[in-house]
Amino acid sequence: MIFSYNLLQSFFKKKLPKPDKLAELLIAHSFEVEKIAKTDNDWMMDIDVLSNRAADCFSHLGMARECAAITGLKLIIKKYDLIEDKKMKINDLLSLEVKDKEACPRYTAQIINKIKVGSSPKWLQQILETCGLKPINNIVDAANYVMLETGQPLHAFDFDKIQSIVVRRAAKGEKIVSLDNEKYDLNENILIIADGKYPLAIAGIKGGKRAEISETTRNIILEAANFDYQAIRTASRRLKLKTDASLRFEHGLDPNLAGFALQRLAGLIQETAKGKAVKNTADIYPQKILPKKIKLDLNYVQKLLGIDITVKEIIAILKSLEFKIITQNQNKELMVEIPTFRLDINIAEDLIEEVGRLYGYENIKAVFPTTALIPPHRNEELFWENNIKDILKGIGFCESYNYSFISAEQVKAFSFEQARLPEIKNPASVEQKYLRPGLIPNLLKNVEKNLDYFDEIKIFELGKIFSRTAGSVREKKMLTTVIAQKRSKTEQFHQLKGIADLLLNRLGIADVWYNEYQPSSKDIWHSKKCAEIKIGDKKIGFLGEISPQFLSVLKIKAKAAVVNFDFHLLKEIALEECDYRPISRFPATIRDIAVLVPKTIKIIDVLNKINIGGGKLVRDVDVFDIYEGISETKKNLAFHIIYQADDRTLTAKEVDKIQNNIITTLEKTPEWEVRK
């Protein structure tokens, strides 16, 4: 907002601080001064006024009040004594009607006869030019000057060109030609000033050509009205028309300002254009706005600001801002009356902010808090969620985020029991009809969509699943990982088992074993490659390959394996501290062994026999080859066996003895043959 230093100075007898010093004071009291520039006989000050202070500080009078409060100078407002023609009354000359009193809470008008239109005085033109307005004539310039001075937009009509004034909504299809010869199409959402039939002005935005002030104008009607900010904002946007008047009305104005501004405009016109005012003014103001009253707790002022400020200082600051102290209760409470031009003051905290602002934020010393800093209670669920995600991301998995819904098509494909599925009453789409009973359907959908771009997909999701029991919906958090490979060199089942082991080991979970699981014909699992993951008798998860038949139904052209964990069970048994086993400083010895077994034998059965026969010196056993082309009933399994002791280097004789013991243990089982 552009301000004239000379116009600010006109409100004071004593000299204001120089523009640069005044700018420093304003900045210290929450006003940002963007620019100061010298004009011919004035200083232009560009001051950033926040929208909450638009009602009073989009005017020189409002900014002068701030300067008075900051500097301690006395504010003086010039009064005009109108010259009236007491024989003529406005009610006899003007018919005035406000049809929409919500959109126009107040409308005031004054008639001045026998004026002389001409150029404005030099001082007035200079102030308008400093503020970026172009001088036109002494009537229009006076209206613009008083708007700059008070913040109240005003307008003057040629009285001889109109018969009456009606404030109403425009009719659909009505048009108006503005003062700058622009044509606007109006509608019923736009408030206008009309003369009973034709539009004279777009209310609160711009005047029309019909009753324009010209050199031949002798009698005028002055308008000062208050319009609802929403009505003006709506009209301004529809017409794509922004003016100085609409800017002020859009932010809200005090209805009580209209009468004050009208009186000043009438006085200034008589000073610059002569003329006589008819007796009285027309004023339609059905619901008068009265000052608000706010109770202020003085102890709360000190507590909120964190300073030891006296009651005398608080009262002095409030009075400097023209707040009125109605009552004072033994230095404990004040009842404060708020002037109606301060629309931003509504609660006690607003008053306290004003006290702090005028006291000076720079005078409030920084004080360290005395309260104890107590660390927040750790969210265990979030901690283990992040821990698990970090482990899986660290071994090459990508996290997937899916909607918590599945479609009826997925329900049918996965053979879910529909009665147990929570159904959405108003689904956003057919793909989101049910709450998901598991994470696998949407993860496999991710696989199917991404296999066109990748040969291998490793993804996981940690999210909630839902079920319906006894009329209520239950939810549970699950962790599901999926590996899908187009060309797999290793068994995915065993690859994912290794990943499950690594995850559980990192979570400090020991004594895990895999229990054979025989899926039904309706299951999605491979008949020989699935197992329950258990600790003791408690099932914590499930590991399995997806059957090729089911993958073809889903149009997934790759092998896929899934490991599924109950997150809440993992969280309960997980440990932050893992058992530490020092690395042996003695070398390990590796021997290979190949076993010919029936195709129905599971690898875990062979691994268990090797560990039983090898004892404590078998550090690890890895499957490195599976060959099923020997015969229709047999397959060959090849293992690396790692031998190592913690206290010595094993001799070849010791290793041979253990290896022979393993061979003997394996061959005790019928139809098992160790290949030599």
pLDDT digits (tens, 9 = 90+) for 627-670: 887 888 888 989 999 999 888 998 999 999 999 999 999 999 98
- The Cα 438–Cα 462 span in angstroms is 11
Residue 624 predicted with pLDDT over 90: no
pLDDT of residue 608: 85
CATH topology of domain 292-363: Phenylalanyl-tRNA Synthetase; Chain B, domain 1 (3.30.56)
Confidence of residue 510 (pLDDT cuts 50, 70, 90): confident
Give the CA count within 13 Å in the CB-facing half-sphere of 52: 7
Mean pLDDT of 35-60: 94
- In the chain, domain spans: 2-71, 84-284, 292-363, 380-573, 589-675
Beta carbons within 8 Å of 663's beta carbon, 6+ residues apart: 593, 613, 674
Q: Which CATH architecture has domain 2-71?
A: 2-Layer Sandwich (3.30)
Specify whether the CB–CB gap between 492 and 560 falls below 8 A: yes
pLDDT of residue 577: 63
Residue 259 predicted with pLDDT over 70: yes
pLDDT of residue 514: 84
DSSP code per residue over 598-652: ETT--HHHHHHHHHHHHGGGEEEEEEEEEE--S-SSEEEEEEEEEE--SSSPPPH
Residue 347 predicted with pLDDT over 90: yes
Specify the residue for token string 């006690």. Answer: 348
Q: Which CATH architecture has domain 380-573?
A: 2-Layer Sandwich (3.30)
Handedness of CA 208, 213, 216, 218 (dihedral sign): positive
Nearest Cα to Cα of residue 280 among 266, 298, 292: 266
pLDDT of residue 580: 58
CB atoms within 10 A of CB 428: 10
pLDDT of residue 464: 94
- The Cα 3–Cα 9 span in angstroms is 11
Spatial strand order of the sheet with 618-627 comes to: 618-627, 634-643, 589-598, 673-675
Residue 578 predicted with pLDDT over 60: no
- Condensed to tens digits (0 to 9), the pLDDT of residues 133-159 reads 999 999 999 999 999 999 999 999 999
- Condensed to tens digits (0 to 9), the pLDDT of residues 89-133 reads 998 899 999 999 999 999 999 999 999 999 999 999 999 999 999
CATH code that applies to domain 84-284: 3.50.40.10
CATH topology of domain 589-675: Alpha-Beta Plaits (3.30.70)
The phi and psi torsions of 577 (rounded to 5 degrees) equal -100, 125
pLDDT of residue 581: 63
Angle, CA of 253, 259 and 265, to the nearest 5°: 100
Mean pLDDT of 72-76: 94
- The Cα 195–Cα 172 span in angstroms is 17
Confidence of residue 290 (pLDDT cuts 50, 70, 90): very high
pLDDT of residue 239: 95
Nearest Cα to Cα of residue 478 among 506, 512, 513, 441: 441
Percent of the chain with pLDDT over 70: 99
Q: Evaluate whether 2-71 and 292-363 have a shared fold.
A: yes
CB atoms within 10 A of CB 132: 11
Mean pLDDT of 399-421: 91
Report the predicted TM-score, pTM, of the whole model to 2 decimal places: 0.60
pLDDT of residue 190: 96
Confidence of residue 488 (pLDDT cuts 50, 70, 90): low
- The Cα 376–Cα 382 span in angstroms is 13
- The Cα 354–Cα 317 span in angstroms is 8
Q: Which residue has the higher pLDDT, 471 or 407?
A: 407
Left (φ > 0), alpha (ψ -120 to 50) or beta: where does 536 sit? left
- The Cα 665–Cα 597 span in angstroms is 14
Which secondary-structure segment (H or E) carries 58?
none
